[in-house]
Amino acid sequence: MTKLLRLDASFRGDASVSRKLTERLVAQLSTEKTEVTTRDLSKGITPIDGAWLSAVYSPAETRTDAQNEIVAQADILLNELRDADTLVIGLPIYNFGVPAALKTWFDQLARKGETFSYSENGPKGHLTGKKAYVALSSDGTELGRACRLRNGLGPAYAGLLRHHRRDLCRRRQNHDGCRRGHGPCRIRD
Ligand SMILES: Cc1cc2nc3c(=O)[nH]c(=O)nc-3n(C[C@H](O)[C@H](O)[C@H](O)COP(=O)(O)O)c2cc1C
């Protein structure tokens, strides 16, 4: 049994292009032996704050009930990611960057000692051996270019996840649902 985690972040419901792409990718990647978990980030994800920071980095034995609750919620996301062999991430571009909900998902998962640590060569990701597909939909990103978001966060996110193969499957559609281009695209380190 392999496990696939599908993430959607578009708040455009049935009109969402990235959702259609993630749906199609999941269908293509799934077999009868694939267990699919879907997390719709547009339905809500708690932003990290000072309370989150204190909770996550406090020793388990000293946490208050409120802190235990915060860590329990964060651990749900972390375990979903840990369990997944494959990630399918819908990435709509809003205002030249990733949706806030998707950024929050990364914030929730960036836990020093759990998902990354610092080494002499900089941050080192701990979650290895996974394969990720990013279904990007935008109105303006040019085709034929390396998949580098204008805010430069694409490579940073890939580094955080430490994908074994850092391939982005880039597929774009316009609003008529007509695919304008696709192809594997390596994230630059
Ligand atoms: C609030 C908002 C901001 C957007 N900003 C950009 C942008 O900066 N660059 C761009 O190329 N497209 C932009 N778009 C177009 C979306 O990227 C496009 O509609 C895409 O299909 C969104 O993904 P979705 O259909 O899954 O929601 C924006 C759309 C919305 C609704």
Nearest CA to ligand 1 atom 4: 94
Ligand 1 nearest atom to the CA of residue 18, by list position: 26
Nearest atom, ligand 1, residue 20 CA: 26
Confidence at 163, pLDDT banded by 50, 70, 90: very low
- Residue with the smallest CA separation from ligand 1 atom 28 is 94
Burial class from Cβ neighbours inside 10 Å (0-12, 13-18, 19+) for residue 54 reads middle
| Residue whose structure tokens are 């599908």 | 6
CATH of the domain at 69: 3.40.50.360
94 C-beta closer than 6 A to ligand 1: yes
Residue 97 confidence (pLDDT): 85
Structural domain span for residue 169: 2-186
pLDDT at 171 over 80: no
- Whether 141 lines ligand 1, by a CB cut-off of 6 Å, is yes
> 25 phi and psi, to 5 degrees?
-65, -45
Report the number of distinct structural domains present in the chain.
1
Query: Sign of dihedral through CA atoms 98, 101, 102, 108?
Result: positive
Cα of 92 to ligand 1 centre, how many Å?
Answer: 6
Q: What is the pLDDT of residues 3-57, one digit of tens each?
A: 999 999 999 999 999 999 999 999 999 999 999 999 999 999 999 999 999 999 9
pLDDT band at 96 (very low <50, low <70, confident <90, very high): confident
Give percent of the chain above pLDDT 70: 74
Q: What is the pTM of this model?
A: 0.81
Task: Let me know: does 3 contact 86? Beta carbons within 8 Å.
Answer: yes
CA distance 176 to 46: 33
Three-state SS annotation for the chain = CEEEEEEECCCCHHHCHHHHHHHHHHHHHCCCCEEEEEEEHHHCCCCCCHHHHHHHCCCHHHCCHHHHHHHHHHHHHHHHHHHCCEEEEEEECECCECCHHHHHHHHHHCCECCCEEEECCEEEECCCCCEEEEEEECCCCCCCCCCCCCCCHHHHHHHHHCCCECEEEEEEECCCCCEEEEEEEECCC
Cα–Cα distance, 143 to 141 (Å, whole number): 7
pLDDT per position as a tens digit, 50-80? 999 999 999 999 999 999 999 999 999 999 9
Confidence of residue 188 (pLDDT cuts 50, 70, 90): very low
- Ligand 1 within 6 A of CB of 99: no
pLDDT digits (tens, 9 = 90+) for 129-153: 999 999 999 987 543 454 455 555 5
